[in-house]
Amino acid sequence: MEDKSEVLKYLQSLQQELRDIEKQVFEICWYMRGGISLTEAWSLSFDQRTTVMEIINSNIERTKSSGLALL
């Protein structure tokens, strides 16, 4: 049997992963300004979420360099 502390560490890592995914889903919804619902965002695969976040981050950087407001 595995050491209880190892199991606890694993469960804590899963909890942190869940928080990270939740944050990513909420960020996608916020930046899409209603273009995607919370339900639709939760339906995205890991690869799809990653791609959307790459596009969002690219647009953020582009907006920063242009001096325009992101709103």
Is pLDDT at 1 greater than 90 in this prediction? no
d(C-alpha 21, C-alpha 55), whole Å? 17
Which position has the token pair 């595995």? 2
- The pLDDT of residue 70: 65
Q: Mean pLDDT across the stretch 17-44?
A: 95
Average pLDDT for the chain: 91
Residues 34-67: tens digit of each pLDDT? 899 999 999 999 999 999 999 999 988 988 888 8
Q: What is the pTM of this model?
A: 0.78
